């Protein structure tokens, strides 16, 4: 689930809504039988193999996209329990509940002193903080949809906890002690044990729920774009692991969709092939392929549970997704000759369209989008 909530499950909400519903029902049943919503279910049991609480994110995302034919109140009861309560020690060691939740709630981040011994990953304090903040955002959307306004406000505020591990002086996420001190020495370009399977630079971009807030924290759009350009141009992006899978799509959210189109095209061509080793890293239960499917279709779920997908240049002249009710969603690319990788004009159902994202509702209602492509980006 640490891998698949990012793109595989959002893809299935479009292509396989019934199967998605069955999966949600199974997860809710697991919670009823085991007493806690699983976090990284595997081998028919609870595990603490990976960080985050992304079963809750997957269920929230499905519900927000109209997949509602399950017991939402029961699901929310157990999802909320994960976010607010800690299990008895025996259950905790069995993999139930969020790791290091007590310190996350106490400090608004997980301090470096809080090692997580009852888990496969025993440190990763910054990554856990960032992912819990995103999970809190996703759960807040579910709470809001169910009319649980007090929980919504609490969780939405907690979704800002990424700020507590973001060092504004350096412009990176950074390990922090309980007394507020930042870890020394600090090198954002090297792997560190306070982040999960990557570097602080790679994890700095993992704030999909609040890109405007991240831009502000970095000192404004110009500084933000300079840092994001550095990330890609100097080879810090790593497609073989999931935490920065959304990074290329952030350009569009910062007002530079042409950069999204450039880098997504480059990643597709350089990281994937049909031969041996044709997947970057490993398949990770479908996430690597789902990223490719979305990106070749021309849109990507940068922030699950937001119901928005950011546009990029499709790899095909026509993409058509058939819905269960007989409608279909259509993207047509005009002038998709070699080298024409930039979107100059977008129309929706024949009318000019000025956004760089499409909503889930627009997809399932059967909208028709046309992209006029060109060899150079539009002049701003």
Per-residue pLDDT of the chain (380 residues; tens, 9 = 90+): 899 999 999 999 999 999 999 999 999 999 999 999 999 888 888 988 889 999 999 999 999 999 999 999 999 999 999 999 999 999 999 999 999 999 999 999 999 999 888 888 889 999 999 999 999 999 999 999 999 999 999 999 999 999 999 999 999 999 999 999 999 999 999 999 999 999 999 999 999 999 999 999 999 999 999 999 999 999 999 999 899 999 999 999 999 999 999 999 999 999 999 988 888 888 989 999 999 999 999 999 999 999 999 999 999 999 999 988 889 999 999 998 877 999 999 999 999 999 999 999 999 999 999 999 999 988 76
- What is the model's pLDDT at position 27? 97
> What is the reported pLDDT for 276?
86
Distance of CA 260 to the CA centre of its chain: 16
| pLDDT for the residue numbered 363 | 96
- Residue 282: its pLDDT value, please? 86
Name, in order, each residue with C-beta under 8 angstroms of 159's C-beta and a sequence gap of 6 or more.
Answer: 133, 134, 136, 137, 140, 209, 210
Q: Indicate if 313-380 has the same CATH topology as 8-312.
A: no
Q: Which CATH class is domain 313-380?
A: alpha beta
Range 8-312 classified under CATH 1.10.1200.10: no
CA atoms within 13 A on the CB side of 210: 22
State residue 122's pLDDT score.
86
Residue 70 near residue 25, CB atoms below 8 Å: yes
State in Å, rounded, how far the first CA of the chain is from the last one: 40
pLDDT score, position 130: 98
Query: Domain extents for the chain?
Result: 8-312, 313-380
Looking at residue 172, its pLDDT comes to 98
Tell me which residue of 364, 373, 268 sits closest to 321, measured CA to CA. Answer: 364
């Amino acid at each position: 689930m640490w891998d698949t909530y990012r793109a595989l499950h959002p893809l299935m909400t479009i292509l396989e809504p019934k199967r998605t519903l069955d999966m949600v029902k199974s997860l809710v049943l697991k919670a009823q039988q085991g007493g806690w919503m699983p976090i990284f279910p595997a081998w028919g049991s609870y595990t603490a193999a990976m960080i985050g609480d992304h079963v809750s994110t997957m269920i929230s995302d499905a519900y927000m996209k109209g997949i509602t034919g399950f017991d939402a109140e029961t699901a929310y009861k157990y999802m909320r329990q994960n976010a607010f309560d800690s299990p008895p020690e025996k259950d905790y060691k069995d993999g139930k509940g969020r790791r290091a939740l007590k310190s996350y709630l106490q400090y608004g981040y997980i301090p470096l002193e809080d090692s997580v011994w009852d888990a496969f990953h025993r440190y990763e304090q910054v990554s856990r903080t960032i992912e819990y903040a995103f999970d809190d955002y996703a759960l807040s959307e579910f709470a809001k949809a169910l009319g649980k306004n007090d929980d919504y406000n609490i969780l939405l505020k907690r979704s800002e906890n990424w700020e507590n591990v973001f060092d504004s002086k350096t412009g990176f996420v950074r390990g922090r002690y309980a007394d507020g001190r930042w870890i020394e020495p600090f090198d954002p370009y090297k792997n560190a044990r306070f982040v999960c399977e990557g570097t602080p630079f790679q994890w700095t971009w993992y704030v999909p729920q609040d890109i405007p807030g991240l831009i502000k924290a970095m000192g404004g759009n110009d500084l933000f774009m300079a840092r994001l350009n550095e990330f890609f141009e100097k080879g810090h992006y790593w497609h073989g692991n999931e935490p920065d899978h959304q990074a290329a799509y952030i350009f569009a959210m910062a007002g530079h969709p042409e950069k999204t189109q450039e880098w997504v095209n480059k990643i597709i061509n350089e990281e994937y092939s049909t031969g041996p080793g044709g997947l970057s890293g490993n398949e990770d239960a479908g996430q690597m392929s789902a990223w490719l499917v979305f990106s070749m279709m021309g849109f990507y779920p940068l922030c699950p549970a937001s119901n928005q997908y950011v546009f990029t240049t499709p790899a095909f002249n026509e993409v058509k997704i058939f819905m269960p009710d007989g409608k279909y969603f259509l993207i047509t690319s005009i002038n998709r000759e070699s080298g024409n990788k930039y979107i100059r004009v977008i129309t929706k159902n024949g009318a000019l369209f000025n956004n760089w994202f499409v909503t889930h509702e627009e997809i399932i209602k059967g909208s028709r989008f046309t992209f006029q492509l060109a060899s150079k980006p539009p002049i701003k």
